Amino acid sequence: MEPSVDLARLPSLRHYLDSLSAAERRAALDRLAAFSPEDLSSLGVSEPQSVESDYRVEEIGGTIPAGLAGTLYRNGPGRWQDHTGRPLHHLFDGDGMLSAFTIDPAGVRYRNRYVRTAHFRGRSGVSHMGTAAPGGRRANIGRVPPNLANTNVVEHAGHLYALWEGGPPHEIDRDTLDTLGVRRFGGELRWLGTYSAHPSFCPSSGAMFNFGVELVPRPHLRIYRTDRSGRLRHFRSTPLPYAAMVHDFAITERHVVFLVSPIIPDAMAVALGRAPIGDTLRYRPERGSTFILVPRDGGKIRRIDHDPVLQFHLSNAFDDRGDVVVDAITYADGRMLERIARFHTSSLADAPSVFTRFRVSAAGRVSAEPLSEAPSEFPRHHPAHEGRPHRYAYVNTRTRLGAFYDSVTKLDLADRREFTYTADEPGNSFCEPVFTPRPGGVAEDDGWLLTVEYQAARQASRLVILDAADPTRGPLATAQLTGHVPQGFHGNFSARPA
């Protein structure tokens, strides 16, 4: 059954469908036929953005809150095709496109620019996460995905970095968004230079913690600490229980915390060119999960085996009277991996998530408690509560849509209450809500949530500013863009004056 979607409005999707084999195309069309009208209208967020812009936003709705000044930086794939126009299949395959929303007394200025990676500049014939290089098996032997710099953008010690977990950061000019080059921090990021896109920041020391997954000579984590002056040092390494995709981690005031999920690639298939790495990732629950607690002071590393858990993002963690508490977005099975691998035509509706709190005791016992069953992702919190006890988390949730997240929710983890704002128009979707503290604020929820809303009917996007204390009030202010921002991954706010 053909879907009732106007592919003329979605040329990238049409091009993707035309690139599939007959059997794959039938399966993709069958998936699209099951979409609701709202979900079909939401697909425009995955269309590429080919225009790089720099302009003052003319259409401001509401009133920008007094005290909110600085720049929201965001990163995510801007196009899912290589420079030859070849469609790319996996959610993680697109070239990184940075967006900057600078808020000042004059209003909002918007800029977007692609990271000038080697891939963006025209390197062809590479094997991506979910798209094999042309030329068959022989052309893919030993190939690793290119550094697309498409996952996060962070500021630390006066420098801005575009991050991608399979390679080193690209430094970005904070004002122009020009790419300044790849950074290996004096050789500390060796070989492939793997460096997670999810660093954690210590509120008291100003240090930035991060890690890389290295598979040679055996699977292990290489952990880094960058001090407030910007000096990066490798300070611990620890073995992994198996070759796993480790996407995120957390810190507490005493520990660096990992929850290793059994998301395992078929290394032999990748090495022999039989499949790209993203297509071989499988959830292997029989392997179980492992908590790894790395003392920040250099003490003995603890490993606690646990029941299988599938997660991509940890929300936060903290120490509690000898226990370590870890919050995460968890999934019951591996269906989310399948959705990510074929995201163009896949719904998230049958891959629900749970906001789960784990408690690891000093004796090595692990308990798990669901705190919210709202289907959620992209958790954020007040940056001053990083690694510390906290009451609130902010997430994207799904209310009407199955393909994307159409809501922003404040989770009260103490009272188990949820405060949700859902997009007014069908087919609209939101990216990750970034908590921005109010200057001088004391309460944990005193601040604003900055998110970008894709507007399906207009095929455009707008910056949305919500009250973090009560998102249900709806937008305090909006800044309407002339074009759209493709669905992104992560971003952060900088209070540095423009």
Structure tokens at 49: 């953005």
Residue type, 281: L
Q: What is the DSSP string of 437-484?
A: EPTT--STT-EEEEEEEEETTTTEEEEEEEETT-GGG--SEEEE-SS-
Q: How far is CA 486 from CA 148, 243, 380, 453, in A?
A: 15, 32, 20, 10
Residue 121: CB atoms within 10 Å: 10
Sign of CA dihedral 468, 473, 476, 482: positive
The Cα 206–Cα 202 span in angstroms is 5
Beta bridge partners of 435: 449
Q: Residue 41 contacts by C-beta under 8 Å, 6 or more apart in sequence?
A: 426, 427, 456, 457
Separation CA 103–CA 110 (nearest Å): 9
Query: Could you give the CA distance from residue 231 to residue 225 in angstroms, rounded to a whole number?
Result: 8
Dist. CA 399–CA 495, nearest whole Å = 32
Binding-site members are 198, 247, 313, 490
Q: Among the residues of 102-235, which ranges form H helices?
A: 136-140
For the annotated binding site for Fe cation, the residues are 198, 247, 313, 490
Peptide bond into 370 cis (omega under 30): no
Nearest to 232 by CA among 221, 240, 223: 223
Tokens of 498: 């423009």
Spatial separation of the C-alpha atoms in residues 396 and 487, rounded to whole Å: 13
